[in-house]
C-alpha cells in the first residue's frame, strides 16, 4: 500500500523548524511502516528449516498417527516403549499378559495366559478321533460304562458286540459254550485184522462206559 509523504518544504535545507518538522514526520512514517501485519506475509514455499533456532518443545499439535506421520512421546511414554522387551504385553494388545510361560499356553481372551506341562482333556473341543476313553488318564477319569465304544470292566465282557466272534478270535471251540458236564469218547484200535475197534467214554474225567476192542 502506497504511503503519502508530507510535502517537502520550499525553504532551503537549513536548521529551521520547518525542516526539522518534516524530517520528524518522515521518521515517524518510516517507523509505522516497519510494523507489517502477520496476515500480510506470504508463506508460500516456507519451511521450518528456514528458522535458525527450531525448538521441538515449542511446537503445538505435534500428535501424529496417520500414514507418514509419527507419534511424539512424553518421557514416561518413551520409558514404557523402551521397557517392552521386559514387560508382559497385555491380552487386549495381542500379548499373553504373563511374564514367563512354559509348556501348554491357555487363555480366556481377557485375563493373563496360564501355562501347563500337559494339555487337560477338559479344554479339548469336538470329538477326538480315538474316542473319549483313549484320551483319559486312569488316575483322573472315572467311567460309568455308558460309553459303548469300549468294553467296560465291570460288565465282565457282557457288553461285547459279538461273543461268538470274540471266542473265534481267542481260538476257542464249541466246548467253550457248554454249561454241563464234559463228556468225551475215545476210540481204541482193534487188536486183530478181523477184530473191531473199542471205545472209552469219560464224563467229567470219569470213565463211564467202555467197549473192549477185539
pLDDT in tens, 188-203: 888 888 889 989 888 8
State residue 69's pLDDT score.
74
For the chain, the structural domain boundaries read 64-138, 180-214
Residues 6+ apart with CB under 8 A from 195: 213, 214
Q: How many angstroms separate the CA atoms of 11 and 96, rounded?
A: 94
Cα 103 to Cα 35, 100, 114, 134, 139, distances in angstroms = 75, 10, 9, 22, 21
Pick the residue with more confidence: 190 or 29? Answer: 190
Q: Identify the band that residue 139 occupies on the pLDDT scale cut at 50, 70 and 90.
A: very low
Helices (H), 11-89: 17-34, 75-82
| pLDDT tens for each residue of 75-103 | 888 888 887 767 777 777 767 777 777 77
Amino acid at each position: 500500500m502506497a504511503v503519502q509523504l508530507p510535502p517537502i518544504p520550499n525553504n532551503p535545507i537549513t536548521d529551521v523548524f520547518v525542516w526539522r518538522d518534516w524530517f520528524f514526520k518522515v521518521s515517524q512514517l518510516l517507523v509505522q511502516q516497519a510494523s507489517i501485519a502477520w496476515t500480510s506475509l506470504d508463506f508460500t514455499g516456507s519451511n521450518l528449516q528456514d528458522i535458525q533456532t527450531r525448538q521441538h518443545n515449542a511446537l503445538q499439535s505435534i500428535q501424529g498417527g496417520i500414514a507418514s506421520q509419527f507419534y511424539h512421546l512424553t518421557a514416561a511414554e518413551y520409558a514404557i516403549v523402551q521397557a517392552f522387551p521386559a514387560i508382559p504385553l497385555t491380552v487386549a494388545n495381542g500379548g499373553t499378559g504373563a511374564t514367563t510361560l512354559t509348556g501348554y499356553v491357555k487363555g480366556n481372551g481377557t485375563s493373563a495366559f496360564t501355562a501347563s506341562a500337559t494339555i487337560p482333556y477338559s479344554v479339548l473341543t469336538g470329538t477326538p478321533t480315538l474316542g473319549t476313553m483313549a484320551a483319559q488318564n486312569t488316575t483322573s477319569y472315572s467311567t460309568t460304562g455308558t460309553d459303548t465304544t469300549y468294553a467296560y470292566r465291570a460288565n465282565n465282557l457282557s457288553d461285547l458286540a459279538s461273543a461268538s466272534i470274540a471266542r473265534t478270535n481267542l481260538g476257542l471251540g464249541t466246548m467253550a459254550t457248554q454249561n454241563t458236564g464234559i463228556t468225551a469218547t475215545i476210540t481204541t484200535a482193534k487188536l486183530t485184522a478181523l477184530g473191531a475197534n473199542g471205545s472209552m467214554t469219560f464224563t467229567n474225567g470219569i470213565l463211564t462206559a467202555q467197549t473192549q476192542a477185539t
